[in-house]
Structure 1
Amino acid sequence: MAIYPVILCGGAGTRLWPASRDHRPKQFLSLAGDLSLFQETIARVAPLTGAHGRIVVVAGRDHASSIADQLDDADAVLLIEPVGRDSAPAVTAAAEWIARQDPDAVALFVASDHHIPDAAGFRAAVLEGAKAAEEGRIVTFGVRPSEPSSAYGYIQPDGPGLAPVKRFVEKPDRRRAETYVKEGYLWNSGNFVVRADVLLTELEAHAPEVLRTVRQAFPAGDGGSTALDETFSEAPRISIDYAVMEKSDRVSVLPVGFGWSDLGAWDAVAATGEADRGLWIGGGGDGANLVRAAEGMVIATAGVSDLAIIAEPDAVLVCHLSRSQEVKGLVERLRKISPRHVHGAASEEDVLEIRARAFDDWVRFNALPLWATTGVAGDGGFYEAIDRTGAPVGDFRRARVQARQAYVYSAAGQAGWAGPWRRLVTEGLERFETTNRRPDGLYRTRVSVRGEVLNDTASLYDQAFVLLAMAAAASAGIEPGLMGSRAQALREALEGLAHPGGGWREDASHPHQANAHMHLLEACLAWEAIEPGGAWAGMADTIVGLAERAFIDPDGGFLREFFDADWRPAAGEAGRLVEPGHQFEWAWLLTRWGRARSDDWSAGAARRLYDAGLRGINSARGVAVDEMDDGLAVRSGRARLWPQTERLKAALILAEDLPGGHAGHALKGLQAYLEPTGLWRDKQEPDGSFVIEPAPASSLYHIAAAWLQLRETLKL
């Protein structure tokens, strides 16, 4: 039997304010142990997948980053909702995805925020219920009540053991709850197991509009993590209980005896006995209390009992545990008075604004001046690196570094930087033209500091950056005519590298690759902005077409790196390489291209690429790692600087259209690499330490591009 556990990550946990907020709901908090409720759920259901099943997580766009942070090494598929529409559309999306992989598979639907200490007992109940599910039943798990409670809904079974459901009832008052318990009703856990095709059949019968809309929201390709498109927002807002469970004649209930709680309010959290956090000093007259103090805070009590005292950096709750359900009303009042305190102590906008100011200052006052002086040679050429003592490094010059530095200072000048940017660009490009231009119009890869040829290869990657530097210079007003004619000559010279199957060949060990095309697309977009509607636009369209049909996996929505001569994934490990940084970078570029073309495909593709890149975020360090495989599992924990800039650029540009890009967190990850001097560290090891080496000049291009996107987004 193939079991696909589906973890539903909806719910705001309002009654657990101030710990639970909109940006960090309760499923991502450690409320009853060291793990978050989401991590507990993953650990609880993972053994059920066996050899053929797979975990599926359904969540909103705003929480995709939190999920990626907490998945760790778990093999899971993410279905990302553009907007929450209650449980029925979420359940439908998971059932549809599973049915496309394995129509006979059994799906186990569980909430991400329930506390079940007896994981083995839970799994035994699931396997028992799955046997009936294989025969076509929808089996929901009814928890034997430990006491009358008005916090839960109830199920009336039509007999002992596994039995048909006689009726579902909503949360009762205390008196009615006592009656239900005496009459053998069960708590409705909301968890159930069903064959995917059976659930889709019942949805077709009882909630056809939900099924139709969700199916339309699936993008092409369905084998991996999927960002559902905006059609999903048109689905009826309805729970799965109302949509199917209360109408279907296939529903049975299995009584279970394992401990269970949805930890819906602070009294339920206190009942676990594992919820106290932080430094608390109690007096001799204190009774039982629940106390949670934020890091760096201390709570002292004297002579109090049965209180919940929850202290966050920006908000404190004190309530009697018996009145925990009333917290929701307090939050609704607070939402009108101070919504920031409902969203979170530091909202995404707050984090981004504060960090953006510091980053902008660092670029303008530290990095650009340092590299404009120490990083420049007397002949106008740019050095390869600067070491920790402030000394320039390198007895050679690579084409990509010379072009990138010229681009940076052209862009800095346009952004209002007051340094000598015009001189730096003019002298740098003229020196480069003299030493690196080949007779065929292409530019060689490497020369010595005296201009001697060290490597006469004309790399496609390098040509892309030469074109980008020329476009930036022209845009900044530095001899636009000359730059345009040089760029046209280079574009024509690239015909010698044209591939008969589309695109261009790279003169390297991997001649058919996505990376060089990515930077060529960036250069084409820059030139198209100067010369709209011409050859540059056609070149850009060619590259995007190649990305759509070859670079981007049609099922998983992620981008591979290397290909064979027919633009199919290369053999062996090279063809399986997936770089998180390039997922972000392509997402950024496709968004820009799509806006210029009013193209719908690019928006969905960019979002899927971004979501794939999030799988490469290391939760402990908050950074994007270097490498994954085509199963989106991390294969290298090292994290260079440049993927952090690309994550930031993508988060920013996507947030302009749809909130939830987590740009503030991306900027925080990048800033960990930056030093006050204007230098940076390039390589972070898996243990969080940095490799001690000179700061490479090539990184300034990545930093500057992120800085420019940050300025543009904040201006919007």
Structure 2
Amino acid sequence: MGHRDWIVDQLDEIGVEAQILLEPEARDSAPAMAAAAVWVQAMDPQGVIAFVASDHHVPDHEAFRQAVRDSADAARAGQIVTLGIKPTEPSSAYGYIRSAGRGLSAVEAFQEKPDALMAASYIEAGYLWNSGNFIVSATGLLDELVRLAPAVESAVRLAVPTVSAGSIEILGPSFSSAPRISIDYAVMEKTGLASVLEVEFAWSDLGAWDAIHASGEGGTGQHIFEDAEGCLVRAGDGVLVAAMGVRNLAIIAEADAILVCDLARAQDVKRVVERIRAVSPQHLDFARSRPEALGDGAKRFANWLRLNALPLWSTVGQSEDGGFAEALSLDGRTLSMSRRARVQARQIYVYAQAGALGWSGPWRRILSAGLEKLYADYLRDDGLCRAVLTAESAPLDDTAMLYDQSFVLFALATARRVGLDDPTLEARALSIRNAITANALANGAFREAGEHPYQSNAHMHLFEAALAWEEAGGDAGWADLADRIAKLAMTVFIDPQGGFLREFFDAAWAPAPGDEGRLVEPGHQFEWAWLLARYARLRGRDDAFQAARRLYENGRRGVTERPVVALDALNDDMTVRSNRARLWPQTEWLKAALILGEVATERDRVALMEDAAAAQRAIWMYLTPQGLWRDKQLPGGGFIDEPAPASSFYHIMAAFSQLCDTAKARGLANVAVTGLR
């Protein structure tokens, strides 16, 4: 796992996308290769893998590629092929292979690294250098591991996640129980399937500084030579090396350690390494900053809400008449703007939930004032909610949006759940629900007002409201409504082949024509995954849980690695439509990873909890110390300079609430956050 950032940086530098499997700890080559084979077999049971060490130097790229292609044909026929390099000189740095013939032939014996005299005899006998590269089918390798090293195969198979975490997967804890063994000892020296392809291209495994020097590409950094020849210099940033009157030295200068050795003694550096391991182990590798763990971030999250965000948005962000601000400037000033009903309802939820989580602020007063404002100015005479007020609280848009009714229902349910003394809560909610369901379409869906009448998003929030009322003790109609929307999600909104959720539809509830019908929002994949996982738990519905998992996997395809954020939008072929990244998808990613992690198997839970930690770190990119936030991150990592929208607080509070629920349900190690006390 310590190499993660370097791998991502180097892939980004050369413009290559790749699937990365990260080991929780090194267990030698056999477990690592087994993990790759399990992953490839799941993707393609006929898949063939070329296992290539990362530190090899092959100048003739096409010759190498052709050797792999030639070996792949034998691998498909069941052979495990290694590349044998025709030696250029006796070397004690490499292992050797005795082959049965020229070209592609059976392996007769593998030999360990010899001394210089034995190496010369191997060369005389026609042995090949063992490159350590292998070409084998995924299924063929796993079959041999089952037969020859079953403890490796079983431990690793349990460690490979089945829930995709995107381009980076972290192997589960069982990987650490796999025997620490090389593929040579585990399989190659025992199998009857070993073949070797003799190749003649130049090759080095870069196993020591002399080999790096011989590659001609090993020197880096600033240096000055004065009467110095045949030296290799590698200088870290800000370090200048000067050498005078010396020959054939390796000079490796980093910020915290310097190595000087005769290149002829490069193979002996391991002796120095062992001494360093005993006297100063911190110098064995580069210092790395550890990313913030889930538990540490959760504690900081709780303090930020309790001390900064909740006080700010209930004072500066709420007027004396109970109305909540639409947005605050990043220096904490109220802005004169029209006010949407959904913001009023969302802020009511925020403070009701803050009370439920133990916040000691005056949440009951805030909540009561917010509801009074909602009733007086946002609700129409028919009990439905108008869309927008002016800054002075006069009606501006009387449209009864399904989206807005859903948030009013959600706010009322949360107020009911926290025991607010308001006898009108349920009656108001039933009035709105009855008005909505009376206008259901033939397939049970609901039409939204505005330019997108057939959409999944408004249904998502109605689903959330129905579940909230069911959990708050509402009548059976709420469970019926939740069942109806869950069915719509799994039969209409979610693509049956791809498992991803679409946003817009035509009147027949087929994908809308053009680009609108192709829109896939990673944030909504996560949000629906969270809701369907909750629903699956309430109903004991495995089909809903499986749908949630597929949604999560598709949402994860919209997460980038530089920076690690969930993007705004993809197309239905999973190509990027918008590479901006708003705040709210990060919160939905956190919620979905947490709730799926609660019920995941061991091998998936590790990946999901690491995802949750990554999502929480992504959220922190947006939050400011004052209790505000930025909303829109640009591809370069900067943010659009604009006020903090109040509507984001709903997403932030819901994410923190799920974090508390998961910590309580799973007893997560090092996650002690239980609320806002």
Query: Are 1:700 and 2:649 an aligned pair?
Result: yes
2:316 paired with 1:398: no
Q: How far off its partner does 1:699 sit?
A: 1.4
- Of 50, 55, 69, the match for 1:109: 50
* Residue 515 (str. 1) matches residue 457 (str. 2): yes
Name the residue aligned to 2:390: 448
Q: Secondary structure at the match of 1:113?
A: coil
- Among 659, 664, 686, the residue aligned to 2:635: 686
CA distance in 2, matches of 1:593, 1:694: 35
1:486 match: secondary structure: helix
**What is the distance in 2 between the residues matched to 1:342 and 1:654?**
36
In structure 2, distance between residues paired with 1:231 and 1:567: 44
Distance change >3 Å, CA 715–CA 500, structure 1 → 2: farther
Letter matched to residue 157 of structure 1: S
CA 1:652 to 1:217, structure 2 compared with 1: closer, same or farther past 3 Å?
Answer: closer
Task: Give runs of aligned pairs for residues 222-241 of structure 1, distance below 5 A.
Answer: none
**Aligned counterpart for 2:43 among listed residues 76, 80, 97:** 97
Deviation of 1:405 (Å): 0.9
Distance 1:97 1:698 in 2: 40
Q: Which runs of structure 2 are paired with 1:510-549 in the superposition (5 Å)?
A: 510-531=452-473, 534-549=476-491
2:672 counterpart of 1:715? yes
* Equivalent pair of 1:355/1:668 in contact (CA under 8 Å): yes
Does residue 561 (structure 1) correspond to residue 503 (structure 2)? The answer is yes
Change (3 A) 1:230 1:508: farther
How far apart are 1:654 and its partner, in Å?
Answer: 4.9
Q: Which position in structure 2 is the counterpart of 1:17?
A: none
Task: Give the distance between the partners of 1:319 and 1:593, measured in 2 at CA.
Answer: 64
- The SS at the match of 2:442 is coil
Change (3 A) 1:688 1:166: closer
Looking at structure 2, the residues matched to 164 and 517 of structure 1 have their Cα atoms a distance apart, in angstroms, of 63
Per-residue deviation, residues 47-80 of structure 1 (Å, max 9, x unmatched): xxxxxxxx873625979xxxxxxxxxxxxxxxxx
CA distance in 2, matches of 1:292, 1:541: 65
CA displacement at 1:250 relative to structure 2: 6.8
The structure number with the bigger radius of gyration is: 2
Which of 401, 413, 421 lines up with 1:471 in the alignment? Answer: 413
Q: Which residue of 1 aligns with 2:667?
A: none
Q: State the AA in 2 paired with 1:513.
A: Q
Secondary structure of the corresponding residue to residue 384 of structure 2 = coil
The one-letter amino acid of 2:621's match is A
The alpha carbon displacement at 1:455 in A equals: 2.7
Output the CA distance in 1 between the equivalents of 2:94 and 2:318.
Answer: 69
1:659 equivalenced with 2:659 (yes/no): no
TM-superposed CA distance for 1:639, in Å, is 1.6
2:2 is aligned with 1:24: yes
Could you tell me how far apart the structure 2 residues matched to 1:651 and 1:215 are? 22
Residue 702 of structure 1, CA deviation: 1.8
Q: Which amino acid aligns with 2:196?
A: V
Q: Does the Cα contact within 8 Å between 1:62 and 1:659 map onto a contact in 2?
A: no
Whole-angstrom CA distance in 2 between matches of 1:209 and 1:542: 47
The runs of 5 or more residues in structure 1 that have no matched partner are 1-22, 44-54, 64-83
Aligned residues: 642
**Counterpart residue type for residue 639 of structure 1:** A
Distance 1:147 1:292, change over 3 A: farther
Worse-matched range after superposition: 634-643 or 176-185: 176-185
1:186-335 alignment, distance < 5 Å: 186-189=128-131, 191-193=133-135, 252-260=195-203, 306=250, 322-323=267-268
- The farther-off stretch of 626-635 and 472-481 is 472-481
Pairing of 1:298-447 with structure 2 (within 5 A) = 306=250, 322-323=267-268, 345-348=288-291, 350-388=292-330, 390-438=332-380, 441-447=383-389
Report the CA distance shift for 1:632/1:311 in structure 2 as closer, same or farther (over 3 A).
farther
**2:20–2:167: 8 Å Cα contact kept in structure 1?**
no
- C-alpha spacing 1:209/1:602, structure 2 compared with 1 (3 Å): farther
> Within the alignment, does 1:164 sit opposite 2:110 as a pair?
no
Secondary structure class of the residue paired with 1:405? helix
Distance 1:150 1:431, change over 3 A: farther
Shift of 1:581: 1.9
With the length of structure 1 as denominator, give the TM-score of the two structures.
0.72
Equivalent residue runs for 1:57-68 within 5 Å: 57=19, 59-60=21-22
Instruction: Label 1:359 to 1:160 Cα distance change in 2 as closer, same or farther (>3 A).
Output: same
User: What one-letter code is carried by the residue in structure 1 that aligns with 2:578?
Assistant: S
- Could you tell me how far apart the structure 2 residues matched to 1:113 and 1:233 are? 21
Aligned partner of 1:584 among 526, 535, 558: 526
Question: Could you say what secondary structure the match of 1:29 adopts?
Answer: helix
Distance across 2 between alignment mates of 1:522 and 1:546: 14
Instruction: Report the 3-state secondary structure (helix = DSSP H, G, I; strand = E; otherwise coil) of the residue aligned with 2:44.
Output: helix
1:388-413 Cα offsets, whole Å, 9 max, x none, are 45442344221211111111111222
Over residues 485-538 of structure 1, what are the superposed CA-to-partner deviations in whole Å (9 max), with x where a residue is unaligned?
Answer: 333333333313534334444334333333233333333333333228944444
1:501-512 alignment runs, 5 A limit: 501-512=443-454
Segments of 5+ residues of structure 2 without an aligned counterpart are: 664-670
Query: What is the match of residue 673 of structure 1?
Result: 622
User: Structure 1 residues 468 and 207 mapped into 2: Cα distance closer, same or farther (>3 Å)?
Assistant: same
Displacement after TM superposition at 1:647 (Å): 2.8
Any conservation in 2 of the 1:229–1:604 contact (CA below 8 Å)? no
Secondary structure of the structure 1 residue equivalent to 2:606: coil
CA 1:602–1:372: 2 relative to 1, 3 Å: same
Describe the shift of the 1:94–1:239 C-alpha distance in structure 2 as closer, same or farther (beyond 3 A): farther
Q: Is the 8 A contact 1:225 1:557 kept in 2?
A: no
Going from structure 1 to structure 2, the CA distance change for 1:205 and 1:412 (only over 3 Å counts) comes to: closer
Q: Aligned partner of 1:165: which letter?
A: A
CA drift of 1:695 comes to: 1.9
Partners of 1:151 and 1:590 in 2: how far apart? 57
Q: Following TM superposition, by how much is the alpha carbon of 1:698 offset from its aligned partner in structure 2, in angstroms?
A: 0.9
Asked whether the 8 Å contact 1:167–1:246 carries over to 2, the reply is no
CA contact (8 A) 2:82 2:132 kept: yes
1:236 positional shift: 9.3
CA contact (8 A) 2:53 2:132 kept: no
Q: After superposition, give the CA deviation of every residue in 1:123-161 in whole Å (9 maximum; x if it has no partner).
A: 333344456668886654333456666776654332222
Q: Residues 255, 624 of structure 1: CA spacing in aligned structure 2 closer, same or farther, 3 A cutoff?
A: same
Which one-letter code corresponds to 2:501 in the other structure? Answer: L
| One-letter amino acid of the counterpart of residue 44, structure 2 | I
3-state DSSP of counterpart to 1:169? strand
Instruction: Call closer, same or farther: CA 1:41–1:375 in 2, change over 3 Å.
Output: closer
1:78 aligned residue: none
Counterpart contact for 1:153–1:168, Cα < 8 Å: no
Cα distance in structure 1, aligned partners of 2:146 and 2:294: 44
Work out the CA distance in 2 between the residues paired with 1:674 and 1:359: 10
Further displaced range: 692-701 or 597-606:
597-606
